[in-house]
Structure formats: C-alpha cells, structure tokens
Amino acid sequence: MPLPTSAKSRAQSRVKRECPVEISIDRHFEAKAYTSGSAVAGQVTFSPQSDFTFDTVDIVLVGCASAQVQLLQREIPRSNHTFLELRMPFPEDALPHTGILEAGNSYTVPFSFIIPFQLPSASCKHRSTVIRERHLQLPPTVGGWEHDDLAIHSVGIEYSVRARAVMKVDQQTTSIEKKHIIKVMPYFPEQPPLHILPGNPMYQLSQEKMIRKDMLSSRNGYLKASTSQPDPIVLSADKLEASECTLTVDLEFSPTSKKIKPPQIYAKSGYIQALTNYSVGHIGFLPDQHKHPRVSPNPILTYFMDEQVTLGESGELHWDQQSPCSSAESSRRSSVSVSQQPPERARKGSNHSTGSDSAIATTSIKYKAKLVVPFNLPGPDKKAFLPTFYSCLVCRTYTFRLIIGAGSHGSTLAFTIPVQIAVEGCYTPPIDATPNYTQIDAEQEFDDQMLPPYEFVL
C-alpha cells in the first residue's frame, strides 16, 4: 500500500537529513559566469548516516526557463520549460555495486560538463526554420545576477548541476535531490542588422523639422535627419563589460536664404530600453521584427525598462555645402519638371506652396553633415545587461532612444533605433556549433581537452 502524501514527505525529509548530499564545483565562486565551451567539473558526495538502498543516481546539467502571467482577473499558473538536460555517466565503481550506501562512509562521484554552444534539436519544435534556429541558441541566466538585469520577477532562466538519488525507504520508493545553481552567459555572435520596413511603428529612424531662430521669428530652413542600426554592443563573457557603441546621424539642412547658416546640432540625451517578452506558451515570432499576433492561445506580455546612457563627445560638426553646379543642376531639373506639367496642374501646385517652401526651392542650397554619437551602457557594477536572445518562453531585445537638439530655442528630434547586444566568445565553437561526444574505453588515456561523453536527455 503506498504511503500517504504527508507520510511520504516525512520520509523524504528524513532521507535528506540522514543522507546529506553535497555538490562541489572546482574553482567556483558566487559571481563566476560560465560561457559556451566552459568546463563545469567537480564532485557529488553522499554521506549516509545509516544504510540506504538506492536504485539509480543521476548527475545532470539542467537549463530551465519559467514564466508566469498575472492578469487582472486571474493568475495563470507558472509555466516551466526544460530546454537543456545533460546526464553525466560516471564509473561503475564510483558507487557500491550492491546498491547500498553504508553508514559512516562517504561516496564521491566526479562529473565534468561542457557548456554547449547550441541546444539539442529537441529543445524547440517550431515549424519556422528562422525562429527555431534562434530558439536553439543557448539563452543566458535571467534573474540570478548580483545586479538588476532589467527583467521582471515573473520570468527566470536558471542553470544548475543536479544530483538525484532514487532510494528505497520502508519498502517505498523516494528520492533526494540537491542542486548547485550556476550563472551562464553564453556566446552570442553578431547578427545582421534588422530589415526595417518603412512605417514600422516600433522604430523611428528619420525625422524632419522646420527650424526657426526662435518661437516668433520666421522660418530659417528645413532640417532632415536619418540614422540606421549601429554595430552591435559586445559584452565580455567573464566581466560582462560592454563595448562602446557609435551611432551616426546624417543631417541635411535647406535654408530659406543664402545668408542663413546651418543651426547648431547636438546630442541631448540617450536611453537604452530593454524589452522582455514572455508567455506561458511558446512564443512563435521574433518580437523585434514581427508584429504581435492578434490572436494567441496564451497572452504574450512585454516588460519595458529604460536606462539612461552616458553620451560621449561628438566632436565639432562640419557642414559641407553642396557645390553650385549640383545646386544649379538641381534647379534645372526642378524647372524642367515644372514646365512639363499641364498649366492647370502647375497653377494648382503654385497656389499650395508656402512662402518658405518657395524660398527653399529658390535658394537650392543644401548643407550636409554627420553627427557621430558615441555612448556607453551603465557598468556591470550597476546593471547586468543581457544579450539579445530569443527562446520559447522568454525573449530580450533592445532599442536606443536618442534625442538631438537643433538650434538655440530648444527644438528636438527623437529617434528610436534597434540595438543588438552580442557576447564575445572565449572558446572556438565547433564548425556545426554543437559539442562533439566521444566514446572512450575505460583503459584509454583521457585527454583533458576531450568533451565528456554525457548524453542529452530530452
């Protein structure tokens, strides 16, 4: 007859007290971050205080994501997804072949894992090849860093070494389990820039504005500004330090008079926005590239966090005036196009043009310049920035909001630009980006550089 739940719980508690389990990882410390290719080696020690009979003992490297969605009317139960489970085989003589742990003895079982560069194919079953490839990249630890990683408390990604022993107690089967949590910051290579279609509401890459000397004065000219996605920010895998990022804004100023010079342009402020998308069901799209689906079996929520960044010196802005030849050529093209219009259409167009627009068209003078804006993220001693990643339950993307000032009376232009955060590699990944598993004989000399023959369990 099986034990009641309360009796079984008491039995498990007694087993944990009478057979403590300790997991020790070599050269480990609390703030240490492991990356793709890093070795996680150590030993598990069983110290029974009385004889225990065991059936199986497992030592597993586990990666698990969790998410919980809280709505106004109800709270959806937390969802868990085990995306990585590597079981470590150990020598047969590490534990008694009789299956009995004798009281007063300590039994040590060694283990050695290598953090993989990619998840096993069974971790994600999405039909889209693009999404599946992104979901098979190893995600970073979320929610377990010493400093704020800009994620909501409802989500988490945890890596741990777990030791589990299934034992027989009072003719009933019970188990004891111990886990040792580690932090993982995997290798994330740079990805190509996003293909952003015009009119995408998530981003603002260009702005146009009429410039005045002050609020009551006439118009001085027309300013156009545009930018594009910068090169990725690269994190160091060990210290989590971020490289400097540089943004370039292309400027074009068309004055209303030849006497008017371009306005003063400067970077006013900048903010990095971390967007954490999460759901209790699998996320079937890339949040920074695709529109959120209107209908979804499980709600997909987005958590925003803004952090001000430190802007570097932009240097002196140099305006280049277009050559008179190009201006004259532009004027000739403009006059030819107007003369080719029907008289009624030409008259209608002239009626709708404003005085300043006519002045700008008459001068045909343009000034062009490039505003270079370097910026740095807050240091790892303040915030723990995660790489841009996509997984089945949790995704993290970034945008950069730049405010530039134009003129002396406070005119501003705002941009929202996608930013990618990558992680440098400390080890050379295999050609196929997956670990190699080699079977060796017991008498064969073991090379320290050889990956352990553990197996995926999914």
Please choose, from the candidates 181, 202, 225, the residue with its C-alpha nearest in 3D space to the C-alpha of residue 397.
Answer: 202
Lowest pLDDT segment from 315-324, 325-334, 419-428:
325-334
Q: Is residue 197 part of a domain?
A: no
pLDDT at 385: 97
Query: Taking the complete model, does pTM exceed 0.85, yes or no?
Result: no
Provide the Cα torsion 280, 285, 286, 290; round to 10°. -130
How many other C-beta atoms are found inside a 10 Å radius of the C-beta of residue 198?
Answer: 6
Number of domains in the chain: 2
Domain presence at residue 28: yes
* Measured distance between the N- and C-terminal CA atoms of the chain, rounded to whole angstroms: 32
Q: Which long-range contacts (CB under 8 A, 24 or more apart) does 196-203 make?
A: 196/229, 196/418, 202/288, 202/399, 202/416, 202/418, 203/399, 203/416, 203/417, 203/418
Give the C-alpha separation, 15 to 30, whole Å: 28
- Structural domain contains residue 20: yes
Residue 8: per-residue pLDDT: 45
Q: Provide mean pLDDT across the span 54-74.
A: 90
Q: Which is more confidently placed, 307 or 216?
A: 307
DSSP secondary structure of 178-223:
EEEEEEE---B---PPP-PPTT-TT-B-EEEEEEESSTTSPEEEEE
Q: Phi first, then psi: what are they for 343, rounded to 5°? A: -55, -40
The predicted pLDDT at position 447 comes to 43
Q: What share of the chain is helix, strand, coil (3-state, %, to 5)?
A: 15, 40, 45
Residue 193, in any domain of the structure: no
- Residue 195 lies inside a defined structural domain of this protein: no
Inside any domain, residue 201: no
Residue 155 and residue 118 in one domain: yes
Are 53 and 102 a contacting pair, CB within 8 Å?
no
Which tokens is 256 given? 């209303």
Residue 445 has pLDDT above 80, yes or no: no
Q: Cα angle at 382 between 379 and 387, to 5 degrees?
A: 60
pLDDT tens track for 69-116: 987 777 778 999 999 999 999 887 889 988 888 888 999 999 999 999
C-beta of residue 401 within 8 angstroms of C-beta of residue 416: yes
Same domain, yes or no, for 375 and 299?
yes
Band (16; pLDDT cuts 50, 70, 90): low
Domain of 375, in residue numbers: 206-423
Task: Give mean pLDDT, residues 314-327.
Answer: 76
Q: Is residue 200 part of a domain?
A: no
What pLDDT shows up at residue 184? 98
Residues 240 and 310 in one domain: yes
Asked whether residue 198 is assigned to any structural domain, the reply reads no
247, 402 in Cβ contact below 8 A?
yes
Give the separation between CA 245 and CA 291, rounded to whole angstroms: 27
The Cα 289–Cα 253 span in angstroms is 32
Q: Do 157 and 240 have their domain in common?
A: no
**What CATH number is attached to the domain comprising 169?**
2.60.40.640
